[in-house]
């Protein structure tokens, strides 16, 4: 029996490694397909409840994803890659020293803002220039990747629930523990995707719109920066639109600068107060430090897709730790399955 188990285990491990090698070139598109399928599954359920045809409902969901999310994202990433160098060059040309002096008089502290911004933007510029070709690739690679992504999404919509049920059956756990584990994974995933990532994306997008309206150059680049720093508590996007407004005022565009300040304070910053509580209602909260580290670490390790995958991995780790505590360390705790 042991020989059979060893043979099966070795064969299984070999096939698994080969499968990973085959899937690796399309890993980004497969991961995006999984995230989009999970995010848009309520939309698929909506279509299916009305037409009662799984294949058609899946196709309609993919069309919506293509028109609303995928094509705009490809266009924005392409434009972003073009704005990166311009943003870095314009940053050097702007009179940062005047802003530094102004902030120094207001706060009483002298900060070398020029060096900080140059260093930070240079790192971000290098990262975006490295990531954008990986995401876009050649036209042929992009089309092939999108074909793989939409294929995975199609079968994910149609057979996703069956797949999850099959995984539940294979888990060597008691039924109550399976319910508890899947509850934790579901709520923590929703909390990250809806409460954290979506809030940061909305904040950064609104911030980019404000920069565009009030005439700040390279608004798309700074919008991408605001999405990333939108995960920071308290200040977040104000680190971008605040100095941009001050720069407009110092350059003589007082009305536009004040308008940007009002817009940022009244609309962009309030997204965190209005949208996040609604999206997080009834869901497990994840500490902002985990989300921030997950975003930065995910971007560094996985590239563009790491913006979503990084915080999700750390959040799932928290979910597994919580499940372990409730299921094994303190069995008397009535886990989430009772909810």
pLDDT at residue number 119: 64
> What angle is formed at CA 36 by the lines to CA 31 and CA 41, rounded to 5 degrees?
130
What is the spatial distance between Cα 207 and Cα 240, in angstroms, rounded to a whole number?
Answer: 9
Round to whole Å and give the CA distance between 251 and 297: 37
pLDDT at 14 over 90: yes
Last residue of a domain, one of 138, 170, 202: 170
Q: Are residues 67 and 206 in the same domain?
A: no
Query: Going by C-beta distance under 8 Å and a sequence separation of 6 or more, which residues neighbour residue 61?
Result: 40, 43, 44, 47, 153, 157
pLDDT at position 338: 41
Residue 229 makes CB contacts below 8 A (sequence gap 6+) with: 235, 236, 237, 239, 240
More confident residue, 70 or 34: 34
Number of structural domains found in the chain: 2
Same domain, 22 and 101: yes
Q: What is the pTM of this model?
A: 0.69
Among candidate residues 146, 170, 194, the one where a domain is terminated? 170
Q: pLDDT-derived band of residue 128, with 50, 70 and 90 as boundaries? A: low
Domain holding 159, by residue range, is 1-170
Same domain, 313 and 191: yes
């Amino acid at each position: 029996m042991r020989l059979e188990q060893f043979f099966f285990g070795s064969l299984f491990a070999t096939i698994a490694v080969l499968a990973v090698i085959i899937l690796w070139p399309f890993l980004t598109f497969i991961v995006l397909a999984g995230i989009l399928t999970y995010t848009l599954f309520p939309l698929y359920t909506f279509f299916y409840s009305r037409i009662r045809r799984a294949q058609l409902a899946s196709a309609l969901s993919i069309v919506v994803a293509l028109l609303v999310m995928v094509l705009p994202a490809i266009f924005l990433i392409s434009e972003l890659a073009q704005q990166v160098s311009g943003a870095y060059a314009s940053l050097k040309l702007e009179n940062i020293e005047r802003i530094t002096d102004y902030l120094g008089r207001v706060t009483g502290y002298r900060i070398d803002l020029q060096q900080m911004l140059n260093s930070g933007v240079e790192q971000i510029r290098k990262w975006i220039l490295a990531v954008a070709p990986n995401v876009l690739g050649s036209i042929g690679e992009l089309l092939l990747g999108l074909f793989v992504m939409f294929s995975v999404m199609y079968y994910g919509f149609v057979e996703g629930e069956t797949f999850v049920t099959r995984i539940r059956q294979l888990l060597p756990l008691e039924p109550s523990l399976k319910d508890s584990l899947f509850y934790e994974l579901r709520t923590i995933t929703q909390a990250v995707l809806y409460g954290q990532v979506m809030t940061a994306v909305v904040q950064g997008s609104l911030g980019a719109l404000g920069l565009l309206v009030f005439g700040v150059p390279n608004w798309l680049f700074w919008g991408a920066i605001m999405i990333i720093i939108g995960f920071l508590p308290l200040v977040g996007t104000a680190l971008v639109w605040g100095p941009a407004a001050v720069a407009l005022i110092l350059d003589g565009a007082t009305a536009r600068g004040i308008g940007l300040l009002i817009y940022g304070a009244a609309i962009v910053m309030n997204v965190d107060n209005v949208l996040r509580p609604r999206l997080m209602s009834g869901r497990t909260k994840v500490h902002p430090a985990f989300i921030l580290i997950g975003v930065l670490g995910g971007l560094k390790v996985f590239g563009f897709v790491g913006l979503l995958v990084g915080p999700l991995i750390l959040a799932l780790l928290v979910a597994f730790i919580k499940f372990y505590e409730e299921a094994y360390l303190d069995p008397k705790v009535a886990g989430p399955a009772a909810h």
